[in-house]
């Protein structure tokens, strides 16, 4: 261990390579030929002796920072969204970039102070920016990659996976299974309410387009009693089997549990399809039908846009096909 800050020449001496080689490796340069063995040795030495580079100096050399700043609104970042962001981070990391996630409402309206502290290569936004934040981004000269997941007036979603596509897969699956009376059940999640509202609106619109009269909608509290109350009322007034699209697999599991409490036969009297094909879907009794998202391909499309705006060569491409599909299991297979 050296006295004072560890420098690149310290890493070079310990690793037995030139300072230029150390610079190429630590800056993630893939356009220069360095063997994998040498890369690993340089990184191991840098980690062992505690080398920490200067982000400001690196930004000055490269003409930009190397942080991809993901600006998340005040959403519940769990489940499929968290997996999607993780995939994006892994992919942009292949270019020597670092993904930094900033979640919540704290940055909104104060993006100028965030950009003053972070040497950002680009900013990835998931909601339209306020005028102040958009002005700050323009003034900083940092490019924006807008990744719209939700639809807004004048600003439709830019991802291939849309909220309406998820609901359409659920509705069409239930119709194909023979259910003619449909309902939608969401769970009240304050930080996920924008997504809930988007799917509820999509369900209503899709049912109208498919000619389904009197489709039922409930946003239940996050407890079994609330689900039981809604489900008992639905089934009591339904003269035929009812097909229910759930906000996600957790809501689908709640519906299955409520049906068991009420002695409602699934799928004979009640068909259920969940919303994100988590592991729990295949482990329920009956097993829960759900909707699967191709998050890896979606992430490749987002990472390709990031790479393109930053001038990197990449073999990643934006998806050109549907990334949403219904997975049929026991909970929605209406007996003929």
Q: What secondary structure does DSSP assign to 136-166, as a single string?
A: HHHHHT--EEE---S-BTTB---SSS-HHHH
pLDDT the model gives residue 52: 61
Task: Report how many domains make up the chain.
Answer: 3
Same domain? For 142 and 188 the reply is: no
Q: What mean pLDDT is reported for the chain?
A: 88
Partner residues linked to 271 by β-bridges: 243
- Answer yes or no: are the C-beta atoms of 182 and 215 closer than 8 Å: yes
Residue 317: pLDDT over 80: no
Interval 165-194 mean pLDDT: 94
Say if 231 falls within a structural domain: yes
- DSSP letter (8 states) at residue 44: H
- Answer yes or no: are the C-beta atoms of 216 and 230 closer than 8 Å: no
Around 56, how many Cα atoms within 13 Å sit in the side-chain half-sphere? 2
Same domain? For 181 and 328 the reply is: yes
pLDDT the model gives residue 282: 93
What confidence tier does 60 reach under pLDDT thresholds 50, 70, 90? very low
Same domain? For 140 and 236 the reply is: no
What confidence tier does 5 reach under pLDDT thresholds 50, 70, 90? low
Same domain? For 284 and 167 the reply is: yes
Partner residues linked to 243 by β-bridges: 182, 271
The winner for highest mean pLDDT among 26-30, 76-80, 256-260 is: 256-260
Identify the helix (H) or strand (E) that includes residue 237: none
Same domain? For 176 and 277 the reply is: yes
Nearest to 116 by CA among 69, 52, 61: 69
Say if 75 falls within a structural domain: yes
Q: Greater confidence, 62 or 120? A: 120
Say if 308 falls within a structural domain: no
Q: What is the CATH number of the domain that holds 36?
A: 1.10.260.40
CA 95 to CA 84: how far, in whole Å?
A: 18
pLDDT the model gives residue 50: 73
The last residue of a domain, from among 84, 119, 147 = 147
pLDDT the model gives residue 1: 45
Same domain? For 219 and 268 the reply is: yes
Q: Greater confidence, 170 or 67? A: 170
pTM equals: 0.79
Bridge pairing between strands 290-293 and 324-327: antiparallel
Say if 252 falls within a structural domain: yes
Say if 47 falls within a structural domain: yes
Same domain? For 182 and 257 the reply is: yes
- Answer yes or no: are the C-beta atoms of 298 and 319 closer than 8 Å: yes
- Answer yes or no: are the C-beta atoms of 185 and 255 closer than 8 Å: yes
**Across 42-51, 66-75, 101-110, least confident range:** 42-51
Same domain? For 12 and 32 the reply is: yes
Total length of the chain: 336
Same domain? For 167 and 270 the reply is: yes
Interval 150-158 mean pLDDT: 89
Say if 261 falls within a structural domain: yes
Partner residues linked to 124 by β-bridges: 70, 145
Q: What is the CATH number of the domain that holds 115?
A: 3.40.50.2300
Say if 154 falls within a structural domain: no
The residue whose two tokens read 């490749």 is 300
The residue whose two tokens read 């807004």 is 152
pLDDT the model gives residue 240: 92
Residue 3: pLDDT over 60: no
Same domain? For 39 and 69 the reply is: no
pLDDT the model gives residue 9: 86
pLDDT the model gives residue 312: 85
**Across 200-209, 257-266, 292-301, least confident range:** 292-301
Say if 219 falls within a structural domain: yes
Residue 183: pLDDT over 90: yes
pLDDT the model gives residue 137: 87
**CA angle (168, 173, 177) in 5-degree steps:** 150
What confidence tier does 59 reach under pLDDT thresholds 50, 70, 90? very low
Q: Greater confidence, 101 or 5? A: 101
Partner residues linked to 293 by β-bridges: 324
- DSSP codes joined into one string, 2-39: -SSS--HHHHHHHHTS-HHHHHHHHTT--SS---HHHH
What confidence tier does 126 reach under pLDDT thresholds 50, 70, 90? very high
Same domain? For 211 and 84 the reply is: no
Interval 99-108 mean pLDDT: 88
Residue 89: pLDDT over 80: yes
CA 126 to CA 149: how far, in whole Å?
A: 6
**What is the domain extent for residue 70?**
63-147
**CA angle (268, 272, 278) in 5-degree steps:** 140
pLDDT the model gives residue 285: 92
Same domain? For 222 and 328 the reply is: yes
Q: SS3 helix, strand, coil % of the chain, rounded to 5?
A: 45, 15, 40
pLDDT single digits (tens) 211-251: 998 899 999 999 999 999 999 999 988 889 999 999 999 99
% of the chain with per-residue pLDDT over 90: 51
């Amino acid at each position: 261990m050296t006295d004072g800050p560890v420098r690149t020449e310290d890493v070079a001496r310990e690793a037995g390579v030139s300072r230029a080689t150390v610079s190429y490796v630590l800056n993630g340069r893939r356009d220069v030929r360095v063997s994998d063995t040498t890369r690993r040795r340089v990184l191991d030495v840098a980690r062992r002796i505690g080398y920490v580079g200067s982000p400001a100096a690196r930004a000055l050399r490269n003409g930009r920072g190397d942080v991809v700043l993901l600006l998340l609104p005040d959403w519940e970042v769990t489940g499929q969204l968290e997996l999607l962001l993780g995939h994006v981070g892994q992919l942009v990391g292949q270019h020597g970039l670092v993904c930094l996630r900033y979640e919540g409402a704290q940055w909104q309206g104060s993006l100028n102070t965030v950009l003053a502290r972070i040497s950002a290569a680009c900013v990835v936004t998931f909601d339209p920016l306020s005028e102040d934040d958009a002005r700050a981004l323009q003034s900083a000269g940092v490019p924006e990659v807008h990744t719209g997941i939700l639809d807004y007036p004048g600003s439709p979603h830019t991802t291939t996976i849309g909220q309406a596509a998820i609901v359409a897969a659920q509705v069409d699956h239930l119709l194909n299974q023979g259910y003619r009376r449909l309902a939608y059940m969401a769970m009240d999640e304050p930080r996920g309410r924008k997504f809930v509202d988007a799917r509820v609106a999509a369900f209503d619109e899709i049912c109208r387009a498919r000619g389904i009269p009197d489709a039922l909608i409930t946003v239940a509290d996050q407890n079994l009693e609330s689900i039981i109350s809604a489900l008992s009322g639905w089934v009591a007034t339904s003269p035929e089997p009812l097909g229910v699209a759930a906000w996600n697999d957790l809501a689908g599991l709640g519906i299955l549990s409520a049906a068991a409490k009420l002695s409602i036969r699934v799928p004979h009297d009640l068909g259920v399809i969940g919303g994100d094909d988590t592991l729990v879907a295949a482990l329920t009794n009956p097993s829960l039908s759900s909707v699967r998202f191709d998050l890896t391909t979606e992430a490749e499309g987002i990472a390709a846009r990031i790479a393109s705006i930053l001038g990197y060569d990449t073999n990643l491409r934006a998806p050109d096909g549907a990334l949403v599909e219904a997975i049929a299991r026991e909970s929605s297979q209406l007996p003929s």
